[in-house]
Structures are given as structure tokens and as C-alpha cells.
Amino acid sequence: MQERNRAWRGLDWPIIFIYLLLVFMGWLNIYAAVYSDEHSSILDFTQRYGMQLIWIFFAFALAIVILMLDRRIYFVFAYFFYGISIIFLIAALLFGRVVNGAHSWLQIGSVGIQPAEFAKFATVLALAKLIGVYNFKILQPNSILKICAILFLPVVIILLQNDTGSAMVYLVLILMLYREGLPNWFMLFLAFMVLLFILVIIYSMTTIYILLFSLTIILFIIYGNKTKEAIIYAFSSAIAGVIIYLISKYGGYSLSLDKIVLISAFIGIPLVLIYAFFRRIKLIYYLSLFLFVTSSFALTVDYGFHRILPIHQQKRLNDLLGIEADPQGWGYNVNQSKIAIGSGGFFGKGYLQGTQTKFNFVPEQSTDFIFCTVGEEWGFLGSTVVIALFAILILRIIMIAERQQEAFARVYGYGVASIIFFHVVVNVGMTIGLFPVIGIPLPFFSYGGSSLWAFTILLFIFVKLDYSR
């Protein structure tokens, strides 16, 4: 009895409690989302809420099994799980059922599962095992190579499955890697790249090049203490730009403006590099590299966005960034979703009283857009409570991860926190028009066995690791 009591007490109850609460709320909202008078029994198994109840029981069973297994299994078999999940991913790619244009479903009997959901915890486990070994140095080329290999193998397969949303989730593991040693400047650089990405979509390439070039010069002035040289360089580049412009205009070359800016920015680079070599100013190398990398990135994004990205995704991004609007066309989902959430007001319309979600104005209302039901029926108050629960859960996981003595458990914890964080922010963000529409579920909330089980496994392995600390 004593033994038993201690066993219970060793679990992190706040996490489990929030988990149960979120699962329960999710189920209530699925019921509300598909509620209709004909099928009003909450235990109707022909309906999604009935099915979800079955998934929930299985999830609980899974959680208990995970807690009962020896914790060493997760460490020892980390690569094994990873390998299995890769095999499943490939199987889904080859034999998978196509749902919404993605080869991401594997049919086993009458049950369809999404290997991409399960690959998350396996990948995090594998990374945790890799990074968690004693004296692991993340910045060594060898380490970077290994990390990239583990990380990008599932990403590539999932991308091949045409499930961009799920693939993007893996990017968030950068947060975990940051905790384990990625330098600050790298994160800043990444943040800058994200910003650049958005700017490229909004503004013309000419503006972007001028911006990058100016930024490089400013960085040089700040860090290089060479104001005079910087100004001379900027000035001569500008003159070069004018000359090129005149040549192209009257020489019959008709270069576009962005090319003229690009050429005039880079035309002086060889001279500068020679100057840097003789004066031994390392900063110039870095800044040249910065200019080169960011410009190439901008060019790639621009090309990718306008030439490669399917038109509907282009429009989604345009809609999000407020460049174009078409609430009846491709902006329909987000617009309806915002209407549903916006109509909730402070207290919401009350449980089962939502009209927008119930009458199918919002698409995918029980899966990706489940948050609409929360927003409409429970209002700002309920939405904030749900958001707060997620925030507390994630912060609690980070806190617990930090108190782990083993690097393996800590790394894994950060992985869990990052993945849940990404899902919540992107999912909720898309329903309220902060993010483009990326079809990923809201953890513990959205309808679907694979998603619920995968998150349950992800979370409870961590609870188990913490329990056995």
C-alpha cells in the first residue's frame, strides 16, 4: 500500500490533470461540432464523438501501458522506434490511402492510421538519445550531420507524402536544439530569415535587395568602425547602379530594376574582398557571406513563391498577409472560421448553441478547425482558458525537463514541449488568421485516433521518464 502510494505520488499530476482536462474538453467540442438533433445521444458510435470516445479509452490504455513499461525501453529502443516509424512512413507513401491529396494514411484492417503522427515521438526519442550522450558537442560538423540526418529523413518522406503541414512540425525542434547548444546568433539569423521570407512575399525584390544591402552596410559601420569606407562603398555602388541603369536603358538591354540593384550591390564585392584580404578584416568576409546568403535566400523564396508554390497556397499566404482578400474563394475557410470565433463574444453562445460550426459553415470543424467551436460556444473566456491550459502544460514540461538529471530526458522533454507548442500556435493561429492554413491538428482536442494516440504517447513517455528520475 505504501509502495502503491509512492508510485502514484511520483507522477507529475499537474501534467496528467491538464491532459485529462484537454482530452475531455476536446471530446465535448467534437460533440458540439457535429451535434445534430437526429443523433443527439452522446454515445452514438456512428458519430465522430462516439468514435472519439473509443479513441480516448484506447489512449488511456496506452498511457497506462507506457507508464508501466520499464523506462529503459525508451532509451534503448529509441533508434528501433525511429526505424519502425520510418518504415511505416515509407509504407504509407507507397501503399497509403490518399486523404485530402496526401498519401499519409495507412489502412490496417478497418482502422486507418497516420504514421506521420507517430514519427514525431520516435524522431524526438532518437534525437534525445543522440544528443543525450555524455559530452555531446552539438556544434561539431559530425554532430550536425547526424542531427540533420535523423531530423530530415522523416521530413523528406512526409514531404513526399504531400503532407507539408506535418513536415513543418519538425522544424520546431530547432527550439530543442537551441536549448542544447545552438548559439544565439543562429536563432537570431533564423528569426531574420523568417522575417525576410515574409518581406519577400509582401515587397518587390528591388526593395528587398536595397534593404539587405543597406543592412549589410549598417552592420559594417556598427561592428567595423569604418564609417568612411562604408559610405564610400555605398556611394560608389549607388553610382554604379545609376550607370548600369543608363546603359541598360539606352544600350537596349532592358534589365529589370531588381537586377540592376542586385548587380550594383555585388559588383564591388571582389574589390572589397581583396581589400579585406590585405587589411585582414575578417568582418568583411562574414558580411559578404551574409549578403550573399540572404540575397540568395530572398531570390529562392521569391522564385519558389511565384513559380513553384501551388496557386492556392500562394493565395492563402497573400490572404494572411493582407495582400489580397477573397472571403468567398480561397479565403473562405479562414473567413468563416474567424466569423465563428468572432461571433462568440466574451462569454460565448453557450454549449451546443453555436450556429456557425454546427451548420457546417466552418470546414474540418471537428479536426483542424475544432478551435472554432471553442471560440464560438465558449467565447473569449473559454478560448483563453484553453490557451492558458496549453501554456501551463508547455511551461510545466519545460520546467520538469530542466530538473532532469539525465540529458536524454531533458532533451526529450524539450522536444515534447516544442512539438505541442508548434501544434497549438499554428493550429489556433490559423483559425484566427495569424497563420496560413496548415492542416495540423490541435493536440488532445482534434478528432482522430492517430493524433490523440501519438500525442498521448509523446507526453506519457516524458511523464514516465520524469517519474523514474
Partner 1 sequence: MQLNITTDKKYIIAGIVLIAFIIIVIKLFIIQILEQSYKLSASNNVLRYIPQYPARGLIYDRKGNLIVCNQATYDLMVVKNEVKAFDTTEFASILGLSKDQVKDGFVQIRRVKGYSPFKPSVFLKQIPAKTYAILQEKLYKFPGFEVHPRTLRTYNKKIAGHLFGYIGEVDDDMISKNSYYQLGDYIGINGLEKSYEKVLRGKKGVNIYMVDVHNRIKGSYEEGKFDTTAVVGKDIVCTIDADLQEYGEKLMRNKIGSIVAIEPSTGEVLALISSPSYDPELLVGRDRAYNYKILQGDTLKPIFNRALMAPYPPGSTFKIVNGLIGLQDGVVYPTTHYGCAGGYPYGRGVGCHIHPSPLSFIQAIQMSCNTYFCYVFRSIIDKSGYGTIEINFSNWEKNVKSFGFGNRLGIDLPNETRGNVPTVSYYDRYYHKGGWNSLSIISLSIGQGELGTTPLQIANLAATIANRGFFYTPHVVKEIKGEAGIDPKYIERHTTTVDSTWFNYIVDGMEMAVNVPGGTGTIAALPKIKVCGKTGTAQNPHGADHSVFIAFAPKEKPKIAIAVYVENAGFGGTWAAPIASLMIEKYLTDSISRPELEKMIFDAILLNRYARKK
- Stretch near partner 1 under the rule CB under 8 A, chosen from 81-89, 262-270, 311-319, 355-363: 355-363
- The nearest distance, CB 429 to partner 1, in angstroms, is 6
Q: Which of 47, 318, 367, 383 binds partner 1 (CB under 8 A)?
A: 383
Closest to partner 1 by CB, 166 vs 431, is: 431
Cα(405)–Cα(386) distance, rounded to whole angstroms? 31
- The nearest distance, CB 415 to partner 1, in angstroms, is 12
Length of the chain: 469
Q: Which of 82, 88, 213, 414 binds partner 1 (CB under 8 A)?
A: 414
Closest to partner 1 by CB, 64 vs 395, is: 395
- Stretch near partner 1 under the rule CB under 8 A, chosen from 119-127, 257-265, 308-316, 359-367: 359-367
Which amino acid appears at position 259 of this protein? K
- Stretch near partner 1 under the rule CB under 8 A, chosen from 8-16, 232-240, 251-259, 353-361: 353-361
Find out whether 30 and 366 touch, Cβ atoms under 8 Å.
yes
- The nearest distance, CB 406 to partner 1, in angstroms, is 15
Q: Which distant-in-sequence residues (6+ apart) come within 8 Å of 66 by Cβ?
A: 456, 457, 460, 461, 463, 464
- The nearest distance, CB 184 to partner 1, in angstroms, is 8
- The nearest distance, CB 199 to partner 1, in angstroms, is 19
Cα(23)–Cα(444) distance, rounded to whole angstroms? 5
- The nearest distance, CB 399 to partner 1, in angstroms, is 8
What separation in angstroms does the CA of 221 have from each of 70, 284, 285?
58, 11, 14
Kindly calculate the radius of gyration of the chain based on its CA atoms and give it in whole angstroms.
Answer: 26
Lookup: cell for 145: 550531420
Nearest to 116 by CA among 107, 127, 126, 106: 106
Closest to partner 1 by CB, 361 vs 467, is: 361
384 touching partner 1, by CB under 8 A: yes
415 touching partner 1, by CB under 8 A: no
Q: Which of 8, 250, 278, 346 binds partner 1 (CB under 8 A)?
A: 346
Contact letters (x/-) for partner 1, 216-255, by CB under 8 A? ----------------------------------------
Closest to partner 1 by CB, 300 vs 384, is: 384
Find out whether 306 and 208 touch, Cβ atoms under 8 Å.
no
Q: Which of 127, 428, 440, 457 binds partner 1 (CB under 8 A)?
A: 428
Q: Are strands 111-113 and 97-99 parallel, antiparallel or unpaired?
A: unpaired
394 touching partner 1, by CB under 8 A: yes
- Stretch near partner 1 under the rule CB under 8 A, chosen from 150-158, 204-212, 311-319, 430-438: 430-438
Lookup: cell for 418: 516544442
Q: Measured over all CA atoms, what is the biggest interatomic distance in the chain, rounded to whole angstroms?
A: 93
Q: Which of 145, 148, 198, 391 binds partner 1 (CB under 8 A)?
A: 391
Find out whether 97 and 107 touch, Cβ atoms under 8 Å.
yes
Burial (CB < 10 A; 0-12, 13-18, 19+), residue 448, is buried
What's the DSSP call for residue 321? T
Closest to partner 1 by CB, 241 vs 379, is: 379
- Segments of 43-189 assigned E as strands: 97-99, 102-108, 111-113
Lookup: cell for 294: 540572404
Find out whether 272 and 233 touch, Cβ atoms under 8 Å.
yes
Q: Which of 44, 425, 468, 469 binds partner 1 (CB under 8 A)?
A: 425
- Segments of 18-122 assigned E as strands: 97-99, 102-108, 111-113
177 touching partner 1, by CB under 8 A: no
- Stretch near partner 1 under the rule CB under 8 A, chosen from 112-120, 257-265, 414-422, 439-447: 414-422
Return the half-sphere exposure (C-beta side, CA atoms, 13 A cut-off) of residue 6: 4
Binding-site size, partner 1 (CB under 8 A): 42
Which amino acid appears at position 177 of this protein? L
Cα(264)–Cα(237) distance, rounded to whole angstroms? 5
- The nearest distance, CB 352 to partner 1, in angstroms, is 14
Contact letters (x/-) for partner 1, 34-53, by CB under 8 A? ---x----------------
Sign of the four-CA dihedral 415, 301, 144, 282 = negative
- The nearest distance, CB 432 to partner 1, in angstroms, is 5
Cα(176)–Cα(181) distance, rounded to whole angstroms? 9
379 touching partner 1, by CB under 8 A: yes
What are the residues binding partner 1 (CB under 8 A)? Answer: 37, 175, 178-179, 336, 338-346, 355-356, 359-361, 375, 379-380, 383-384, 387-388, 390-391, 394-395, 398, 402, 414, 417, 421, 424-425, 428-429, 432-434
